[in-house]
Each structure stands twice: as C-alpha cells, then as structure tokens.
Structure 1
C-alpha cells in the first residue's frame, strides 16, 4: 500500500532517492523559536515521484506553542505571517485579497478552514464605504463556502463566482489535511504556493484550486487533522518488520483517525492561522489590535 499523506515533508521522507532526488531541495531554519522545514519540488519528474506539484512547501512546527512557552502565541503569529508573505508574489502583496475557509464546519476535524475565517478581519466593504477612514487597509474578503453535500454547489464554482466580482490579487485557502503519522496531527502547518485540492485528504478530491485554475496566485494553508487508518497500520507493521496481519483487511474501507482533544486543538490552531493572515495582509496591525477588532 502507498504511504498516504498531504504533507510534502512526509512525502519526501518516504521518497527513495532515485533519479528525481536531485530535483528536490530541503532546508531547515528557525523563526521566532519555531522550526520551519522547506521542501522545494523542482521538476516534473520529482513531482510525479512524490505526488506533490512543483513548488515550495513550508512546514511550520508548533512545538513551542503546544508547550505553552512564554509569548508563544504572538511569536507563532509573527512567524506564520512572515512565511505567508514569503510565498505571496510581490504583486500579490497589494490589492484585494480573498481568504477561503474550505471544509465542513459541522465535522470538527474538517472545520479548520471555516473556523480560521471566523478570525479574519473582512475589510472590503469598509474600504469601499469609508475610503478616507480605511485608507491604510487592504480590501479583504472572507468566505466559507461549505461543501458540496451541504450546498449542492462545487466549492470551485462558488469561488470562481466570487472571483469574477472582487477580482483579488491573491487567494489564501485554508483547509484540513491528512498526515501519514500521528505525531504530526494538529502539530504542523503546511504552506505552499501550489494551491490545493479540497477533499483530497479524505479521498474525496474535488476540483483543484490553484494558479492555473483561478488565474491568480493561490497560497494554501493546511493543517493535518486526520491519519488514514490503513496507512498508519501499514506503517506500524513495517516498523515492526512484520509480514502483515489479517486486521489490515478491515481497513480496506476508509477509516480516519484523529486526536482525543481535536475540538480544542482545531479552535486554537484556527485562531493562530486567522491572526497570521490578518498580520500578513495588514502589516500595520499587532496581535493586540486584532484582539480588539475581533472582540
């Protein structure tokens, strides 16, 4: 069975260094006390080998925040903001922006996107109605389009309809992902300039949302909230040097595993992402000011 993950850092870890290995660049650094792992998929061959489109993938580790270190939340917000601004092309750092929270608000592991949007300051209407008062603000729209089963409309169709009206310089899409290992559940944030395919993490992929389909830069922000049960079982079996077991056949149908405290963890990380987006789109703001605007 193939190792199933939405995280580029995991896909590369499990990618055997064949001919395409030279077309993958990896690096590590620290920002505000948080570890950042970067993976650059540089060629079509490497993309085919790893299953990840060509582009940059930044994985932000949340250990300091989870350990409740001093000033961890504002430091995490600033670091994540800096990573977002790294991925945004220079032309996309000005003009209107659209923030899209993908997923189903009614299913907690899939609610990262909608809950993150709840913490984004929408300013497009304010800039339009009071341009003098909000001259220093960027027009930002926030959208949680729901899922096909709730609305009867494909997420991509909703977003394209909104794009035609507001014509943003960039789209920031937030979604839940699937990891390959339990240790990364709600412990990392992946940012990429390649876009995203809603529902791919749970085997229900919809139309891709990327620069090619939307016509503007698309920055995807994803958090792993589930692990595919079959992937996890096969990994455990492989690590134990086992030849397999009958119980694996019970996982032939999709089984997703998440954490016990997923409600609190999704709420905490959604707030972090929302605040980081605000800081990235409105550089004049501080975390304390965002608190006031959202209160």
Structure 2
C-alpha cells in the first residue's frame, strides 16, 4: 500500500496514530485531564523538537484540544462552560497576557459554504473595540485598561484572487497588531470529534490542509507576529465514514454469531491501516469526498457563538 496520509488537522489524532502503532516519539509530551463537574476533557500535546515536528508533520508548539461530547446540543449553560474554559486556554497562549495589546481576529473560510463558514460567523459575534478606543479613548469602554480588538474576513482565494495571508499582511502593515487570532473550520479523522472538539494552537495554521487544499501558512514566520489558531472539525472524509461503518458492521455480526470472528485479515489491521486500505479501495471516485452532518447550519451558528463568547471573555484585560 502507498504511504499513509491521514486527513486531519488535529494534532491529537496524529499523536493517536503513533500510539496505535506503539511508536514513541521523543520530543512530544502529552497531558490529559478533565474539568471538574463537567464532561469537558483537555488534552495538551506539546511538540518540543524539530525531529518531533518532522515526525508529526506539524510545527513545533502547543496544541490544546478541548473535547465536549455534548457540544452539538442546544444547552446554553453547557456552552457557557465551554466558552469559559476556552477563554482560559486562549489566555494561556496569549503573549503578554494581562497587559493591553492590539488583537486582530481573522475569520477564515467561505461564508457561502456552511461547513466552511465558522470563521466568518465567529467574527460576526465578536466585541470589536479598536474603533471605539481610537475615537473616544479606552475609558469609553468603562475600564482603565482594554485590549483593542479588530477583525477581518479575508474570504477565500476563489472569491478574491488573493491568498488570505496576503490580505492579512496588508492589514498588519496598516494597523500593527500585537497578535493575530485565526479562526477556521477543520477536518477530523474520527467522527466522534466532529463538531465536538476545539483545537487551540500557537503555531498558526495552513488553511485547507485537512482537506488537501493547501494554502500559504499563516504563522509567525510568514507575517512576523504571534499567531494563535482556533478551529473546530466540521467535516470528515469518506474513508472515515466507511471505516466506522465497517467496524460497527463487524461488531454487530460477531455479536449475532456469539462472538465468533468473521475473519482475521481485516481484524488483524490496526485502525489506521484499515483507514488506509479503505482509502485505496474507494479511490478514485469517493476518495475526495468530505461529509458533514445534515444539521450543520444550526450547528455552525451555535458553535460560532460559543467560540466568539470565549474570545470575548479571553480578550478582556
């Protein structure tokens, strides 16, 4: 079989591949814990060396994953808990936390394509303060210290003819923010994380990488200032759906037959080998297909509000 390429933007899922293969990567640390009185799980993956970054296929830095199994449910209290925890995790990655700074929030994605509209929707609900502070001073916000928050939705290359990083670069020259926070929809490799997981990282982002549509990276190396990226996986690829269905089918058939194995060839493969096999079987007609839930319209609106509320809390000095 050809070299395995896992379609995921989540560092946690990349790390799980090595755990499944019983491979230990030096230079990668992982810390998992649950939030008290909540179903929220936090996993921190830190890539500390260049060799580890090369093995993982991701830049050095911190990757914080917040998993909330009921995040798709319309429970305002639960979503407030998620926003509060998200704010704490964002503040951990913000440079010069506790001091006044200028923050540019970038909503990546295409507003016309619902699974890709997370970034623009988040920007719609942000508390924007830069224009108020510039016109009336920070005391107009009722505080002695306040972050100046601005935002932009740069669109996608098919709409503008420009890479998002080019648009952002021009804005940086004019407004000189201290830090950029980028919001984007992601791709996952596991259906259980679809619309139930938030990833926060200080390494920036490569828009579209999870679906094989690579754009120029938005990171400190390319734009010259710190970049925090926040995303939620809203799509999975067809191979993931087939793999999960196969697993459920095999489990159900074995249960019907009293635990008798249906065969050893497929069962002897680990999860990622099964995924690779299925990718090759469904090629070429379904290999580029990505799937999203049928209620994605309401889900994106709900999740975008949760993210924007977390950002609004985090950016208060």
Q: TM-score, normalised on structure 1?
A: 0.88
The number of residue pairs the alignment matches comes to: 282
Residue of structure 1 equivalent to 2:7: 4
Residue of structure 2 equivalent to 1:145: 154
1:69 offset after TM fit, Å? 5.8
Unmatched runs of 5 consecutive residues or more in structure 2? 251-264, 267-273
Residue 75 (structure 1) aligned with residue 81 (structure 2) = yes
* Range 63-72 or range 223-232, more displaced: 63-72
Superposed counterparts of 1:103-142, under 5 Å: 103-131=109-137, 132-134=139-141, 135-142=144-151
Distance 1:92 1:257, change over 3 A: farther
1:199 offset after TM fit, Å? 1.6
Distance 1:221 1:70, change over 3 A: closer
Kindly indicate whether the alpha-carbon contact (under 8 Å) linking 2:125 and 2:305 is maintained by their aligned counterparts in 1.
Answer: yes
Residue of structure 2 equivalent to 1:219: 228
**What CA deviation, in whole Å up to 9, does each residue of 1:148-181 have, x standing for no partner?**
1011121111000000111111000000111001
Q: Distance in 1 between matches of 2:22 and 2:46?
A: 15
Residue 29 (structure 1) aligned with residue 38 (structure 2) = no
Unmatched runs of 5 consecutive residues or more in structure 1? 284-295
Residue 272 (structure 1) aligned with residue 272 (structure 2) = no
Superposed counterparts of 1:61-72, under 5 Å: 61-66=67-72, 71-72=77-78
Q: Distance in 1 between matches of 2:118 and 2:47?
A: 26
1:44 offset after TM fit, Å? 1.4
Kindly indicate whether the alpha-carbon contact (under 8 Å) linking 2:238 and 2:287 is maintained by their aligned counterparts in 1.
Answer: no
Residue of structure 2 equivalent to 1:200: 209
* Range 147-156 or range 9-18, more displaced: 9-18
* Range 245-254 or range 209-218, more displaced: 245-254
Residue 172 (structure 1) aligned with residue 181 (structure 2) = yes
* RMSD of Structure 2 on Structure 1 (CA): 2.3
Distance 1:168 1:153, change over 3 A: same
Q: Distance in 2 between matches of 1:232 and 1:98?
A: 37
Residue 163 (structure 1) aligned with residue 163 (structure 2) = no
1:73 offset after TM fit, Å? 2.2
